[in-house]
């Protein structure tokens, strides 16, 4: 079997772009991949054109050889763009292999250790940045059956918060905890903003609310800063969504500075690379909660991975609260019921893309370049309100 062609389709929404790849083979089987990459949609699409020589003619069964082609033979540094492009094709190859074998992908990578996967909600707090606004929104999350939720209460803080902003952020967390009760998992997003001393002060102030983790308290590449924070709080540390290769996790594991890792299948080279990262994490007693900001394919692929992981913790989900129309990009869309995703079904990913819907919602181009929308929570203090307005 050989790859004969592939096409990219880019869906635009007010908040994000999703890139879909449809890979064709000489047997008539096709496979799909999906990625969401911030600020680089056009670059990734162009990259896939540039490496066509490595993909067309390749046997989709040879996953390791595909990885080698795009990270070694195509000489250069394999960063976010390369690893996202690789992930798109690699995910489609797994879909093809599963369809050929008439088996779901999870049965090809070790089989299941569970029948359902816990989910946590994100994207739900596009409201006024007040304790009252967050509390009311949090109650809507639990009303949908979620038992865990993530949120960023910190506005546009950078390295340090002003004292009024510090108090306001803590009040928001307190209000959410009060609104949802003691048994709902609260996951506190910090987006890598803070200096270690500020992250420690925040962590100490919120320990009484018993969050299940603080995420990216410091710059994600600053292992020493993460180690400092971990040494001064009882709250578990999560990070990893901005690491793109297995080797980048090595120091995190050796330093024992994190407790939860968050690799993203669609920006980390695909399913196999993340499976390797997760297996290494298990040897360090670290659990895995994949970063997932995608639509139907990314979410389904992450579920196929999660049901195979002995150290899988929980999976992120946005699409019940932001850009819900993204669910129409294919079927069947994996739903969260009583806080859990169910086991995926069907050969490959078990997903059929709705190409007509995807084409009718193509990303906007300006001067031939795909435009990345986006909430820039790092510079725009009003991103919650803006997202709600769109």
Integer angstrom CA distances of residue 53 from 3, 84, 159: 11, 17, 44
Instruction: Give the model's pLDDT for residue 262.
Output: 98
Where residue 377 falls among pLDDT bands split at 50, 70, 90? very low
Residues 71 and 193 in one domain: no
Residues 233 and 318 in one domain: yes
Token pair for residue 314?
Answer: 């929980």
Residues 151 and 248 in one domain: yes
Percentage of the chain lying above the pLDDT 70 cut: 95
Average pLDDT for 49-77? 91
Residues 43 and 126 in one domain: no
Query: From the candidates 42, 58, 191, 259, which is the catalytic residue?
Result: 191
Q: By the 8 A CB rule, do 86 and 67 touch?
A: yes
CATH code of the domain covering residue 140:
3.20.20.120
In whole angstroms, what is the distance from residue 4 CA to residue 24 CA? 6
Residue 291 has pLDDT above 50, yes or no: yes
Which residues form the domain of 62? 3-103+356-370
Average pLDDT for 48-61? 96
Give the residue, 371 or 290, on which the prediction is more confident: 290
Instruction: Give the model's pLDDT for residue 162.
Output: 95
Where residue 374 falls among pLDDT bands split at 50, 70, 90? low
Residue 384 has pLDDT above 50, yes or no: no
Average pLDDT for 29-55? 94
Based on the residue annotation, tell me whether 191 is a catalytic residue of this protein. yes
Longest dimension (CA), the chain: 64
Residues 98 and 119 in one domain: no
Residues 281 and 139 in one domain: yes
Percentages of the chain per state (helix, strand, coil), in multiples of 5: 40, 20, 40
Distance of CA 61 to the CA centre of its chain: 25
Query: From the candidates 42, 259, 291, 317, which is the catalytic residue?
Result: 291
CATH code of the domain covering residue 85:
3.30.390.10
Q: By the 8 A CB rule, do 176 and 134 touch?
A: yes
162 by DSSP, 3-state: which?
Answer: coil
Residues 149 and 197 in one domain: yes
Number of structural domains in the chain: 2
Q: Which of 20-24, 226-230, 309-313, 385-389 has the lowest mean pLDDT?
A: 385-389
Residues 268 and 385 in one domain: yes
Query: Which are the contacts of 356, defined by CB distance < 8 A and separation ≥ 6?
Result: none
Instruction: Give the model's pLDDT for residue 180.
Output: 98
Where residue 201 falls among pLDDT bands split at 50, 70, 90? very high
Residues 313 and 345 in one domain: yes
What are the tens digits of pLDDT across the range 246-283?
999 999 999 999 999 999 999 999 999 999 999 999 99
Residues 97 and 187 in one domain: no
Based on the residue annotation, tell me whether 291 is a catalytic residue of this protein. yes
Q: By the 8 A CB rule, do 53 and 284 touch?
A: no
Residues 91 and 189 in one domain: no
Residues 80 and 212 in one domain: no
């Amino acid at each position: 079997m050989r790859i004969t062609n592939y096409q990219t389709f880019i869906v635009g929404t007010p908040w994000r772009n999703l890139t879909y790849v449809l890979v064709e083979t000489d047997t008539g089987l096709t496979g799909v991949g999906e990625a969401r990459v911030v600020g680089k949609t056009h670059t990734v699409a162009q990259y896939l054109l540039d490496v066509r020589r490595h993909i067309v003619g390749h046997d989709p069964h040879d996953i390791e050889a595909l990885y080698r082609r795009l990270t070694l033979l195509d000489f250069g540094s394999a960063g976010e763009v390369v690893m996202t492009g690789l992930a798109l094709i690699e995910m489609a190859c797994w879909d093809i292999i599963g369809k050929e074998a008439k088996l779901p992908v999870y049965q090809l990578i070790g089989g299941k250790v569970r029948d359902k996967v816990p989910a946590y909600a994100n994207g739900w707090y596009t409201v006024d940045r007040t304790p009252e606004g967050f509390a009311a929104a949090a109650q809507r999350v639990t009303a949908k059956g979620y038992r865990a939720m993530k949120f960023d209460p910190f506005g546009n803080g950078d390295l340090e918060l002003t004292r009024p902003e510090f108090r306001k952020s803590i009040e928001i967390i307190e209000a959410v905890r009060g609104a949802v009760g003691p048994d709902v998992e609260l996951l506190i997003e910090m987006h890598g903003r803070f200096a270690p001393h500020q992250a420690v002060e925040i962590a100490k102030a919120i320990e009484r609310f018993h969050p299940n983790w603080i995420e990216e308290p410091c710059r994600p590449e600053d292992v020493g800063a993460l180690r400092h924070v971990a040494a001064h709080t009882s709250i578990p540390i999560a990070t990893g969504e901005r690491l793109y290769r297995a080797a980048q996790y090595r120091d995190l594991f050796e330093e024992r500075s994190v407790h939860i890792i968050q690799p993203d299948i669609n920006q980390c080279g695909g399913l196999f690379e993340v499976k390797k990262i997760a297996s290494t994490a298990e040897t360090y007693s670290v659990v895995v909660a994949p970063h997932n900001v995608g639509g139907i394919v990314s979410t389904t692929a992450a579920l196929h991975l999660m049901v195979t992981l002995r150290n899988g913790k929980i999976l992120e989900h946005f699409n019940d609260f932001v850009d819900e129309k993204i669910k129409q990009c294919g079927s069947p869309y994996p739903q969260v019921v009583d806080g859990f995703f169910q086991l995926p079904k069907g050969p490959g990913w078990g997903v059929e893309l709705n190409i007509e819907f995807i084409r009718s919602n193509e990303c906007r181009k300006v001067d031939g370049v795909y435009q990345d929308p986006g909430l820039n929570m790092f510079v725009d203090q009003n991103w919650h309100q803006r997202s709600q307005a769109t």
